[in-house]
Amino acid sequence: MTLRTGEQYIESMRNMNLQVYMFGKKVECPADDPILRPSLNSVRMTYDLAQLPEFEDLMTATSHLTGEKINRFTHIHQSAKDLMNKVKMQRLLGQKTAACFQRCVGMDASNAVYSTTYEIDQKYGTHYHENFVNFLKQVQKEDWTVDGAMTDPKGDRGKAPHEQDDPDLFLHVVERRPDGIVVRGAKAHQTGFINSHEVIVMPTIAMREADKEYAVSFHCRTDTEGIFMIVGRQSCDTRKVEGAPMDTGNPEFGGTEALVIFDNVFIPNNQIFLNGEVEFAGMMVERFAGYHRQSYGGCKVGVGDVLIGATALIADYNGCARASHIKDKIIEMQHLNETLYSCGIACSALGTKTESGNYLIDLLLANVCKQNVTRFPYEIVRLAEDIAGGLMVTAPSELDLRDPKLGKYVEKYLKGVGVVSTENRLKVLRLIENLCLGTAAVGYRTESMHGAGSPQAQRIMISRQGNLEMKKELAKELAHVTE
């Protein structure tokens, strides 16, 4: 097997022995749970599109390890074109799901770990890169969905990992054995963990020697003994079980996050990618963050395309599409969205080869991309809400529309333009609500702020990589300043 079908993926997740908890109860079959299933459907789309000839160039690639055709989400970038195709693929999937399709994190983790392990081995003679390559070959062969887990709970942000009152607030090694290590801790805000076969765990910040036990990276199955997940609440999540699919806005697709607990989990030596080499923790973090910030120039743009389309549609349904201020606001939404895309493409086009041979994005422009993503989607959402009108958040339920007594009044008084049914008007309003305020806000608006690092994280990297001293020299030269 090299390319799974969507149905094969779904069945493989049913066969996982995942320990998932939600609302204080264990979820017996996460793959079929009505609240969680839309998030699984989003991942399924990464498999379904890879089967279609018209998307082959974007959704698949040729493995540099085996020469086989593989899903691009399991690929190690071999050129700037690969980096650009990644962004184009993510925009496509955002358009098709209007949600988080979750495999980006593992793809970005794989590319960061691939180059970092190579450089660790070069310095220390370790076998981390060999471990990773062997793992990656299996990932590509089985077309596994891999999650990337970086974010620790962190506790007191003013203290280093080893200084925390509770040492488990950063995931760390608690025991070393001849055949492996035992780790304990948690990873927070884990997008797609419950829909993944494997996870790549990475440190969350740069480390010093005193934090050696926290400088750890490895892979393991998501149903490994000692791992369990607590699903995060999302606004409107229980609408999915109310028997009114229209009220969800996006009935088929969604995203999900979880707090993932590692309760004394054993990791064999051949699954370890970093184990105490503190000076490389920062490199792994920086490269993963760069790749993931690039990703937002694709996925958020695709979801933005859907929101812009829904906003233009509701302007038609409300009868105000010809108003000049409405046209201007939609133009502004498009301008902001395409600016995000241009940043994702730019940091890809300027990608360079690492020592290991894979390609790394331009880190400065990747951080600029994500800095824009912390702002522009909020303005796009504001404009969408402006044009949609208050009915977006005050409309009655689908159950009222279907009710024999109430339905005729909902139909009569919530009508827009005559040729459009009230039902269709409400469906589009619910989609806008979903993207701006509901469950998809985690995958669009709010995640735009905090995903891949909150705004200050990008500003720190822009400061480091902006080469301010070089720019001072340019000014001195033109002004004939001598010192």
Active site residue 369: no
Given 257, 277, 286, 398, which residue is catalytic? 257
User: For residue 397, what are its two tokens?
Assistant: 């339920």
Residue 135: is its pLDDT beyond 70? Answer: yes
Mean pLDDT in the chain? 96
The pLDDT assigned to 440 comes to 59
User: For residue 30, what are its two tokens?
Assistant: 């996460």
Angle among Cα 109, 291, 190 to the nearest 5 degrees reads: 50
Phi-psi region of 232 (alpha: psi -120 to 50; beta: other; left: phi over 0): beta
Question: Range(s) for CATH 2.40.110.10 in the chain?
Answer: 6-288
Active site residue 21: no
Active site residue 252: no
Task: Report the alpha-carbon distance of residue 375 to residue 381 in Å, rounded.
Answer: 10
Task: Report the alpha-carbon distance of residue 39 to residue 185 in Å, rounded.
Answer: 25
Domain 293-465 homologous superfamily, CATH: Butyryl-CoA Dehydrogenase, subunit A, domain 3 (1.20.140.10)
The pLDDT assigned to 266 comes to 98
- CA dihedral (301, 302, 306, 312) positive or negative: positive
Active site residue 100: yes
> Which are the contacts of 189, defined by CB distance < 8 A and separation ≥ 6?
151, 232, 257, 259, 450
User: For residue 339, what are its two tokens?
Assistant: 């600016």
> Which are the contacts of 440, defined by CB distance < 8 A and separation ≥ 6?
98, 99, 249, 250, 254, 255, 303, 434
The pLDDT assigned to 459 comes to 95
Given 9, 74, 75, 104, which residue is catalytic? 104
pLDDT digits (tens, 9 = 90+) for 10-23: 999 999 999 999 99
Active site residue 66: no
Given 220, 299, 343, 369, which residue is catalytic? 299
pLDDT digits (tens, 9 = 90+) for 285-332: 999 999 999 999 999 999 999 999 999 999 999 999 999 999 999 999
Number of neighbouring beta carbons within 10 Å of residue 21:
15
User: For residue 417, what are its two tokens?
Assistant: 């333009």
Number of neighbouring beta carbons within 10 Å of residue 352:
10
Active site residue 292: yes
Residue 442: is its pLDDT beyond 80? Answer: no
Number of neighbouring beta carbons within 10 Å of residue 447:
23
Q: Which of 216, 17, 241 is nearest to 117 (CA)?
A: 216
Instruction: Give me the count of residues in the chain.
Output: 483
User: For residue 23, what are its two tokens?
Assistant: 């609302």
pLDDT digits (tens, 9 = 90+) for 359-374: 999 999 999 999 999 9
Active site residue 191: yes
User: For residue 248, what are its two tokens?
Assistant: 């969800």
Q: What are 451-456's contacts with CB under 8 Å, separation 24+?
A: 451/191, 451/292, 451/296, 452/289, 452/292, 452/293, 452/295, 452/296, 452/370, 453/289, 453/293, 453/370, 454/374, 455/371, 455/374
The CATH number of 6-288, from 2.60.40.10, 2.40.110.10, 1.10.3720.10, 3.40.50.2300, is 2.40.110.10
User: For residue 252, what are its two tokens?
Assistant: 């088929």
Question: Range(s) for CATH 1.20.140.10 in the chain?
Answer: 293-465
Residue 74 marked in a binding site? no
Active site residue 68: no
Reported as a pLDDT band with limits 50, 70 and 90, residue 236 is confident
Residue 443: is its pLDDT beyond 80? Answer: no
b/e map 60-97, b = 16+ CB within 10 Å: bbebeeeeeebbbbbbbbbebebbbbbbbbbbbbbbbb
Number of neighbouring beta carbons within 10 Å of residue 15:
9
Reported as a pLDDT band with limits 50, 70 and 90, residue 454 is confident
User: For residue 87, what are its two tokens?
Assistant: 């962004």
Whether residue 46 contacts residue 75, with contact meaning beta carbons closer than 8 Å, is answered with: no
Residue 446: is its pLDDT beyond 90? Answer: no
Given 292, 341, 354, 439, which residue is catalytic? 292
The pLDDT assigned to 259 comes to 98
Average pLDDT over residues 387-398: 97
Beta bridge partners of 261: 186, 228
Whether residue 133 contacts residue 121, with contact meaning beta carbons closer than 8 Å, is answered with: no
The pLDDT assigned to 248 comes to 95
User: For residue 420, what are its two tokens?
Assistant: 């459009």
The pLDDT assigned to 342 comes to 98
Q: Which of 45, 273, 266 is nearest to 145 (CA)?
A: 45
- Tell me, yes or no, if the pTM score tops 0.85: yes
Given 60, 191, 204, 422, which residue is catalytic? 191
Q: Is 56 exposed, middle or buried (0-12, 13-18, 19+ CB in 10 A)?
A: middle
Given 128, 214, 296, 359, which residue is catalytic? 296
Residue 1: is its pLDDT beyond 80? Answer: no
